[in-house]
Structure formats: C-alpha cells, structure tokens
C-alpha cells in the first residue's frame, strides 16, 4: 500500500454536506460524480495531500443507503492507493482477509477499486484503489 487515497463519508444530502465541508475546508469540492453501479453520488475535496469523498445514496437499496439506515451519517471507509490492485488482492487474501470484490471494478475518481470486508479488518471497511 502506498498511502491513504481518501476517506469516504456517508451523507444524507450531498448539497448540504458540500456546503458544510466547503466552509470547514475553506474551499469548494473539485468534482461531483455519479457511480451508477453502486447507486451513489460522490463529491471530492482535496485537503492538502489528502482527499475526502462524500457519498450520497441515489437508490434506496445502495450500500450507502443501507449504511446510513443502520449507522447514520459518518465515516464509511478508508481507501488506500495501491500500485497493482490484483496483486494486492491476492496478497491480502493469502493473509486471511475477506475480499468483497475479487475482481476489481470501476470506481469514482478514475480508479479501479476493491473492498475488504470490515469483519476481517477490525470493523473498518477498507477500499483498495488503483489509477486507471
């Protein structure tokens, strides 16, 4: 793993949250993107070398909708940049981690992504990200 790529925060209303975080960070978001396959709208803020991704559900059965229903708004996942996502998936699986996406899929912000089940990572949903 190379670095923390971003921290994902589940929100109910992306417009209200964009306004809130713009005030907090003293800058506007740089991108809004729909990820249709995940039923989510994302918004990204660059904060120094770090990124924050806001996630709003666009369908009632999306993972973000289910997360908010169960836990409320808040930190959803931590994403790590990797050089070779397939190699990292193989390595982590051999170390005993439960991989939710053994085949990476296209994610937001021009990335290939895969997730590790939180039950195998002390309750934290981990996302692996590789630039496309």
Rounded to 5°, the CA angle 121-105-114 comes to 10
* Per-residue pLDDT, 23: 98
H-helix or E-strand spanning residue 77? strand 74-81
* Per-residue pLDDT, 58: 97
- Residues of the chain short of pLDDT 70, as ranges, are none
What proportion of the chain, given as a percentage, has pLDDT over 90? Answer: 95
* Per-residue pLDDT, 47: 95
Q: CA-to-CA distance for 16 and 10, rounded, in angstroms?
A: 13
Considering Cα of 72, then 10, then 122, then 106, what sign does the dihedral take? positive
Q: CA-to-CA distance for 96 and 78, rounded, in angstroms?
A: 19
Q: Are 7 and 53 in contact (CB under 8 A)?
A: yes
What proportion of the chain, given as a percentage, has pLDDT over 70? Answer: 100
* Per-residue pLDDT, 92: 97
Nearest C-alpha neighbor of 3 from the set 43, 45, 49:
49
Residue where the block lists tokens 């195998």: 120
Nearest C-alpha neighbor of 88 from the set 43, 130, 131, 46:
130
* Per-residue pLDDT, 70: 96
* Per-residue pLDDT, 1: 85
């Amino acid at each position: 793993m190379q670095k923390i790529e971003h921290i994902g925060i589940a929100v109910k209303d992306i417009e209200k949250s964009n306004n809130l975080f713009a005030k907090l960070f003293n800058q506007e978001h740089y991108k809004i993107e729909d990820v249709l396959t995940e039923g989510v709208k994302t918004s990204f803020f660059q904060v120094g070398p770090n990124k924050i991704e806001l996630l709003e559900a666009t369908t009632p059965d999306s993972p973000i909708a289910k997360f908010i229903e169960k836990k409320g708004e808040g930190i959803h996942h931590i994403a790590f940049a990797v050089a070779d996502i397939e190699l990292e998936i193989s390595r982590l699986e051999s170390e005993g981690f439960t991989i939710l996406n053994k085949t990476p899929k296209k994610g937001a912000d021009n990335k290939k992504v895969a997730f590790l089940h939180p039950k195998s990572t002390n309750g934290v949903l981990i996302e692996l990200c590789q630039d496309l």
